[in-house]
Chain A
Amino acid sequence: MLSQEEKAEIDKELSHVPTKQAACLGALKIVQAHRDGWVTDEGLLDVAEYLDMSPDELDSVATFYNLIFRRPVGRHKIFICDSVSCWITGYKEILEHLHKQLGIRPGETTPDNKFTLLPIPCLGICDHAPAFIIDETTYVDLTPDKVEDILKEYD
């Protein structure tokens, strides 16, 4: 069941568009934000019902996009840019460093469920590469030292 809060947020999305389906990605993001950062089957069914879509139709859309998570994720998502400018300026090093610090590889979640590491295409911060976004905070001009400090913020 969608919570009142979720419903209110989805209704707002609905007010911007002429069809229910048009709000489906917004709705999935809302449910994801309210429920541990990913869309469970239950969440999917709730949204599907609310928007008059079949679960299959909704999941077809959900699984297409990068930012709808249909599998469990950690409390914080590290979106590390793996595109060309970051790659040139040291993405691999940052990735290695994250691995050293957190013990996880791309796509994995730390055992304490704190971080999930998600390589993602270009974040549009190429003038300050390499970069990553943790949740909604952007970190730029990364160096291994800097990464260490940043991760401490999440202790």
Chain B
Amino acid sequence: MTDTGMETPLTKNIRDDRTPMTIDEYERAGGYQAVRKALSDMSPKDVQSLVKEANLKGRGGAGFNTGMKWGFVPMGDDAPQPKYLVANADEMEPGTFKDRLLMEGDPHSLIEGMICAAYAIGASVSYIFIRWAYHLSAGRLRKAIAEAYEKGYLGKNILGSGFNLDMYVHVSAGRYMCGEETGLLNAMEGKRATPRAKPPFPQASGLWGKPTIVQNVETLCNVQHIINNGADWFRGLSKTDDGGTKIYGVSGRVNRPGAWELPMGTTAREIIEEHAGGMKDGYRFRGMLPGGASTDFMIDEHLDVPMDYGEIMKIGSRLGTGTIIILDDRTCPVGMLENLEHFFAQESCGWCTPCRDGLPWTEKLLHAIEEGEGEPADLDRLEAHCTWLGPGNTFCALAPGAVEPLQSGLKYFRDDFERHIKDKKCPWR
């Protein structure tokens, strides 16, 4: 990785060509120390409190305090058994490729984070739910898991602590909904990946009806560092209130698309201009989705907002996965939105009405506008869809995510929409 001079706990082990460390190399680099420490010196509740204090927020998109989430898992002797931990490595959010970096480049880091997390919640079985396209990651993880078993970090009575943990790689059969944590549970159970109602939360009734924690890959990769270095250190990595570093990424017409570990709260301007090398020649920045396809557009005026959970929320978007998708001036925003809504409509699970039938309608409207067949009232209809598909109105967060880019697109690129309708054609064609 490029040396930024900053602390990069998540990526420090990752080589430029991403060939992963063997377990010996990993151990030599300080790996599995956190497992030793947690298992010998800390109670599960200690780990939970420490992580909570570190203010590690879920990196899968929702940004919920991880330690707090663990606190809802029933503990003690009469807690239902077995409990499960699942690493959410589905990463199907368009524009997102950060978890792949971690798994390809440093599989042991995920495994170590998972062992620590499993210990904290008393889970005895863990799965890495990985999307099918990540053949390379899956292979490397399998190999690393085998190594970890061999060294006694996994299996029965780990390091003589009495703690048992099995770990398996589960390859998804492909659906965006598999990334939604309850859809993921259904997928793992061999069912249709439709979401489950919450409550009851997976912490109480998850995989096979047992207490379960689903956590994003990047989230998990932080845990061992918190255990090793403490909550204060972790919070100190960040420029803002949300603890730690963050893997940010950029795709689109920039000079150096890629992903970098930076302090939480780095601005989009810094990320795009310094790390991604700025816009490609002949392309101008028009807007960006800050954290995957299901986040609201940010435009020029937002480039200096610190990219963290709280700050981006204030300007009406979400950090999401922290991987930026850039809209340039030679790309039609209506076309881009049509592409996005096509994705969401296709990936709707078909369970709830607004999402199943509302999103295809949205896509059809955008298609009509893009093809020069739009009508002025279509914009009202699009607005209405943005309202009615909002949070709480649909069964899960897919549809609310789907309308985030649309509602902000309608706000920031309204002229473009109107031109399409007035000229009866796409100005970019």
A interface, CB within 8 angstroms of B: 16-19, 21-26, 28-29, 60-61, 64-68, 79, 82-85, 87-89, 120-129, 133, 136, 138
A residues in contact with B289, CB < 8 Å: 84
Identify which of A16, A28, A61, A85 contacts B94 (C-beta below 8 A). A85
Instruction: Tell me the complex Cα distance, A130–B339, Å.
Output: 14
Most buried by A among B96, B133, B134, B346: B133
Number of interface residues of B (CB under 8 A): 57
Main secondary structure of the interface of B (DSSP, over half): mixed
Q: Report if A66-B175 is in contact (Cβ < 8 Å); known contacts: A16-B170, A84-B336.
A: yes
Is B320 on the interface with A (CB-CB < 8 A)?
no
Flag if A18 contacts B173 (CB, 8 Å): no
B192 at the binding interface (Cβ < 8 Å):
yes
Q: Does the CB pair A126–B132 fall under 8 Å?
A: no
Cβ contacts A to B, 24 pairs, < 8 Å:
A16-B168, A17-B190, A24-B190, A25-B190, A29-B171, A65-B175, A66-B174, A67-B172, A84-B94, A84-B336, A84-B340, A85-B252, A85-B325, A87-B339, A88-B252, A88-B328, A120-B174, A124-B92, A124-B96, A126-B94, A127-B251, A128-B257, A138-B133, A138-B136
C-alpha gap A30/B366 in the complex (Å): 39
Chain B 189-230 interface residues, beta-carbon cutoff 8 Å to A: 189-193, 208
Residue in A19, A65, A87, A89 whose beta carbon sits within 8 Å of that of B253 in the complex: A89
Chain A CB within 10 Å, residue with most, of B99, B189, B258: B189
Q: Is B93 in the interface zone, CB < 8 Å from A?
A: yes
One digit per residue, 1 when the CB lies within 8 angstroms of any chain A CB and 0 when it does not, for chain B 240-280 equals: 00000000011111000111000000000000000000000
Query: When chains A and B are docked, how far (Å) is the Cα of A64 from the Cα of B343?
Result: 15
Q: Is B293 on the interface with A (CB-CB < 8 A)?
A: yes
Near A by CB (< 8 A), chain B positions 367-385 give none
Pair A22/B188 contact, Cβ less than 8 Å: yes
Known contacts A84-B293, A85-B94, A127-B258; decide if A79 and B251 are in contact (CB<8 Å): no
- Are the C-beta atoms of B190 and A126 separated by less than 8 Å? no
Question: Which residues of the other chain, B, contact A123 by a CB distance below 8 angstroms?
Answer: 133
* Contact with A85, one of B100, B251, B349 (Cβ below 8 angstroms): B251
Contact A21 B253 (CB under 8 A): no
By secondary structure, the A interface counts as mixed
Closest chain A residue to B100 by CB distance? A124
Whole-angstrom CA separation of A128 from B416 in the bound complex: 28
Given contacts A21-B191, A23-B190, A84-B340, contact A127 B92 (CB under 8 A): no
Q: Could you say which of A28, A61, A123, A126 has the most chain B C-beta atoms within 10 Å of its C-beta?
A: A126
A126 touches B251 (CB 8 A): yes
Residue B32, interface by CB 8 Å: no
Q: How far is the CA of A60 from the CA of B349 in the complex (A)?
A: 13
Which of B97, B170, B325: most chain A CB closer than 10 A? B97
**Is there a chain A Cβ closer than 8 Å to B331's Cβ?**
yes
Q: Quick one: which of B48-101 are within 8 Å of A by CB? A: 91-97, 99-100
Any chain A CB within 8 A of the CB of B108? Answer: no
Q: Are B339 and A65 in contact (CB under 8 A)?
A: no
CB of B170, distance to nearest CB on chain A (Å) = 7
Tell whether, in the assembled complex, residue A21 and residue B190 are in contact, meaning their CB atoms are under 8 Å apart: yes
Chain B, residue nearest A60 (CB)? B192
- Please indicate the chain B residues that have their CB under 8 angstroms from the CB of A64 in the complex: 175, 192-193, 349
B 331-354 binary contact with A (CB < 8 Å = 1; else 0): 100011001101100110100000
Also in contact, A127 and B190, with CB within 8 A (given A83-B293, A122-B92): no
Q: Does B131 contact A (CB under 8 A)?
A: yes
Measured between alpha carbons, how far is A120 from B174 in the docked complex, in Å? Answer: 9
Q: Is the CB of B170 within 8 A of A84?
A: no
Q: How far is the CB of A64 from chain B (nearest CB, A)?
A: 4
CB distance from B189 to the nearest CB of A (A): 5
Using Cβ atoms and an 8 Å threshold, which residues of chain B touch A84?
94-95, 289, 293, 325, 336, 339-340, 343
What are the residues of chain A within 8 A of B170 when measuring CB–CB? 16, 26
B135 at the interface (CB under 8 A from A): yes
Q: How far is the CA of A152 from the CA of B175 in the complex (A)?
A: 31
Known: A61-B190, A88-B331, A136-B135. A126 touches B173 (CB 8 A): no
Task: Let me know if B395 is at the binding interface, CB within 8 A.
Answer: no
Please, which residues of chain A bring their CB within 8 A of the CB of B136? 138
B132 — which chain A residues lie within 8 A by C-beta?
67
Q: Is B298 in contact with chain A by the CB < 8 A criterion?
A: no
Report whether B173 and A67 are in contact in the complex, using a CB–CB cutoff of 8 Å: yes
What per-residue 1/0 map shows which CB atoms of B314-340 lie under 8 Å from chain A? 000000000101111001000110011
Could you say which residues of chain A place their CB within 8 Å of the CB of B153?
A: none
- Segment 132-176 of B: residues with Cβ below 8 Å from A: 132-136, 168, 170-176
Least CB distance from B1 to A in Å reads 13
